[in-house]
Chain A
């Protein structure tokens, strides 16, 4: 693999207090400089995996190591930034957008958390990168859902750890913002960070991920997008849960060409596979998609 190992998950199982087993025997090693997609149905355990990496839920078995440290220690070193799926904050709290992003910098500040010039610059850059600079003086509750989401992404950016975990950052975000977030993730990965992103937009995964984890309580498949994100693995992970359209030979052409078109979708951006078996073209498509976004 390209970068060095940063997150090492060994034999991780998580059982919630109601007895529900959300993750079972997960083994993954993630590397720097990559964007890794995390894909699975609702309730597959994606958010649970994020929370276990952060040490917010206790594993019933196995362990998570970040740069060789347990979560608590890694958090103290400000290595990991995390954008949860839903924010549980009081939207009436008297803080402005820039104050919220500044809180991402607290780990870098001294005892009294007094912001230095560098901290202000980091906050401005982070807001600029998510296109929220114009809103920096708004009270946090006075934003739309997608704008709120972007502010929390900015807070994670400002924090500047080498690992960024994003739990469904694209939900409720428009296409333009999604594209700019994807471009941003590419930049961050090129700077040598690890980005772990969960999403239901199967169609964007080949466009922006280097690796993908297909999960359904256990890891169904994990590896480079080109070889892992195949129809077979997707079918295994999603069972009958995907909208599946296959347009074969006769529907597409009048000639004898046996190739068919497969459209898979779990959300708004469909995954399109073209070929006899419906998977051969994924590599080419991926390359094309890359050019568009980078």
Chain B
């Protein structure tokens, strides 16, 4: 699905992404965890084709990415919703610029809002919604474009614990139903373990660990012993590197 080799990126003189290599197979997922400022958002921008790498190559389905790709869905760190557009218009934007006809847009948007359980909010502005509701709008906005790859940048960091778990379950469900490949950036250990089939630990622009998560995909994982074991392992990994 996606293959990244020797990726480098700097803003002005500051190197933010350094020699990153990984791949995600079709229908799989990767969670990237790391402290803030380590370059996670920048990496998402690069993968989305919003920024161009200085060095290295990103290939999706064999094609080199140097611009946005129609079938890549992106959920940006602060939802990326436009405060001047209603929920409906926010979700419809991607369809509108693809020049679909109006009735089709109506149907697709309604459908997406229904799936996210936010149909009744279609006329509201983002400022009128709670964090969780806005998050659902952001997901609807990406999914309505029927992506085969979803990139998420700390999508649930502003949510309370309960809503957060609810949203994580939702992502897992969508992933299973549509065989959707996704990459999620987070600074939350539980989230990485629950949503990452593979987990990469990122620090100062580099991947310093890459672990497999054999327990991925179990909706009840959070209640199990293995979950805590893996969280603990990950936590140790992250704190060890602080001491170095």
- To the question of whether A and B form a pair in one complex, the answer is no
Chain B residues at the A interface, C-beta cutoff of 8 Å: none
